Every structure is written in structure tokens, then in C-alpha cells.
Amino acid sequence: MQLATEIDLSDYLIAPDPGASRLTRAVEGVDQNGEVSQISVVEERPLTIFLNAQEIVTAMTIGDYPEYLALGFLRNQGMLLPDDEITRVDYDDDLETVVVRTARETSYEDKLKKKTRTSGCAVGTVFGDMMEGLEGLRLPQVPVRTSWLYDLAAKINRTPSLYLEAGAIHGTVLCHENRPLVYMEDVGRHNAVDKIAGWMLSEGEAADDKILYTTGRLTSEMVIKTAMMGIPVLASRSGFTAWGVEIAREVGLTLIGRMRGQRFVCLSGEDRLLRDIDPASVPFEDKKHKRKSARS
């Protein structure tokens, strides 16, 4: 198999837009030699999410795809039920609010009283019992070709993105086999995956044949969100937490981390890996990308 060397962005249904003016700002500073330099830094702005008349949360976000973020957050928190009829989603840029309206009357006063701060960057928050909804859940046991993993890493790591442009941000990519479909970024990896969940909900996209790729750590929060979305495979450039691994094994999630060049580690679902490519045939990771990652 020959890995991609040039990235065809037409493969993506949604690709990053690192040139969007609202997402970054040029800031002047002084480098280690005392010389003036200008760099791009990521913008942060608040977004308040309402479910019908109830204010749910204010999230810090880069501000793109607010409707997807709101839908995905509410779905992953169990506040939107699978059979809920969503009647409207209203975004007000001036007020920085999204209101999701459903045919069902909703009230989550009790759930909002219990909050768990997660380990996510930009401080993720999970309402209610973190394990609620996972009882008895068993994800589809789908085979995963290692050639898909290497191909995805090569494509995603070379895709123009805010991560490569400015750093200080996480990316999450919804994939099918070796094709990346939807690439979302945000200051917190929880926001990025919620945008993916919101897009899937809006489009009625199936989850049982997908792979979720993230640039961030494989924490309990990331594993829970992936499982709640029904996605059977989660992969990352980064490492694991012990609780994340335990939950992945309980629900049958294939969990793959430390994907760098020819290397990766699978801590859950190893029996579902189809080793159809010799790792020695995979090119080493681009040194420029390594340097950029080290600065982020």
C-alpha cells in the first residue's frame, strides 16, 4: 500500500479552515533573541447553550459550528434523547447563544446540580453521573485494518489546520476506513468531539462503521463520549489514562494510542486488528510536523 503524500481536501465533507479571520489573531511578541516576531494565536469566545427555556452551560470555544457544538453537547450529556424531535436550532452571534428547541418539554434542574470537571483542556464539564447510559452498552465488534490507521494518520497530520497554523488547539476527525470525513478543532477536545456528534445528529450519520481520531489524550471523558456516540474505534497521537482504558474494555471500544510514524499501542480490542501492512514499510513521521507538535 502506498500512503498519501499529497492531501486531497475534497475527501473531506468538512475540513479545517485555518485562514478564517474569526478563528485566529495576529499578535506581536519578542522571541528568545529579543527580536520582534508576529504569530497567529487562537481566539476564544463564550457560547451559552440553552435547551428550550433552560440555560445549560457556557462553553469557551473558537466559535465555529456553534449549532453542531450545542447539539452534540446536549446529545452526549443525555439531555437530547434518541427519539427527540428537534424543532429548531437558533444561533445569535451578537448574544453568543444557541437555543435548541424540542417538541418534548425538558427540565434538567437535578442533573445540572451535579457537575464533574473533567481533565479536558479548557475545563470540560460533565453533568450527572459520568457512567449514566453506559450500563449494558456493548459497541459493534468491527475489524480494523492497520493500513487504515497508518493512512489516516498520514492524511490527517498533513491536512492544513489551526493546529499546524497556531497550535494550542485540539483536533477530532470522524473517519470511515481510511478516509477522513469531518475534521473539527477547538480549544478543548471535548468541544471538538461534541461538534462531530452534532454533525452526525444533524445528518443522521451512522456510527457503527466509523473511526474517531483525536490529537488529544484518551481520557475517560473521550472514551465515554465516543461510546455514547456509538463509534466502535477511537485512535489518538497521544497517550491513555487508566480509567479510559478500563471503560473502553468494558464497552468493547477498540482503543489505539501513541500513533507516531510506524508505532502505535492498542490497549483494548487488539483481537479486532487486522495487521495487513508491515510497519517497516510506513514512512517515518515528518520532522517538520514533529517540531510543530512539540511547540503546541
Cα–Cα distance, 238 to 83 (Å, whole number): 35
Task: Report if residue 27 sits inside a domain.
Answer: no
Name the residue with cell 504569530.
39
Q: Identify whether residues 66 and 179 lie together within a single domain.
A: no
Pairing of strands 233-236, 211-214: parallel
The rounded radius of gyration (Å) of the Cα atoms in the chain is 19
- Residue 90 CA to residue 98 CA, distance in Å, equals 6
275 belongs to a structural domain: yes
- Domain boundary pick from 106, 127, 148: 127
109 & 52 share domain: yes
Q: Write down the pLDDT at residue 294.
A: 38
Interatomic CA distance for residues 211 and 291, integer angstroms: 27
pLDDT value, residue 116: 45
pTM for the whole structure: 0.87
Question: Domain check: are 94 and 112 in the same one?
Answer: yes
50 and 84 share one domain:
yes
The answer to whether residues 202 and 172 belong to one domain is yes
User: 202 with 114, same domain?
Assistant: no
What pLDDT sits at residue 134?
82
Q: Region 153-164: what's the mean pLDDT?
A: 90
80: domain CATH number?
3.10.20.10
Stronger pLDDT, 173 or 82, i.e. the higher one: 173
Domain membership flag for residue 180: yes
Phi and psi (nearest 5°) for 168?
A: 55, 35
pLDDT tens by residue, 198-220? 999 999 999 999 999 999 899 99
Beta strands in 93-146 (DSSP E): 97-102, 115-117, 125-127, 144-145
- Please tell me whether residues 72 and 212 are part of one structural domain: no
- Residue of 282 and 164 predicted with greater confidence: 282
Residue 287 belongs to a domain:
yes
Widest pairwise Cα distance in the chain: 61
- Together in a domain, 199 and 116: no
The total number of residues shown for the chain amounts to 296
Beta bridge pairs of residue 46: 60
Same-domain pairing of 202 and 148: yes
* pLDDT for 248: 97
Do 187 and 167 contact (CB within 8 A), yes or no?
Answer: no
Which of 127, 145, 180 marks a domain boundary?
A: 127
248 domain residue, yes or no: yes
So what's the pLDDT on residue 126? Answer: 53
Q: Are 276 and 142 within one domain?
A: yes
Name the packing angle between helices 220-229 and 189-203 (round to 10°): 0
Q: How confident is the model at residue 9 (pLDDT cuts 50, 70, 90)?
A: confident
Domain extent, residue 171, equals 137-295
Neighbours of 284 (CB within 10 A): 9
Q: Do 290 and 214 belong together in one domain?
A: yes
How far are the Cα atoms of 87, 173, 191, 243 from residue 47, in angstroms, in the given order?
Answer: 21, 22, 11, 30
CATH number at residue 281: 3.40.140.10
Number of domain units in the chain: 2
Domain finish residue from 92, 127, 162: 127
Q: Is residue 293 scored above 80 in pLDDT?
A: no
Residues 284 and 211 in one domain: yes
Instruction: Report, as an integer, the average pLDDT of 250-272.
Output: 96
The answer to whether residue 35 sits within a structural domain is no
Angstrom distance (rounded) from CA 296 to CA 292? 7
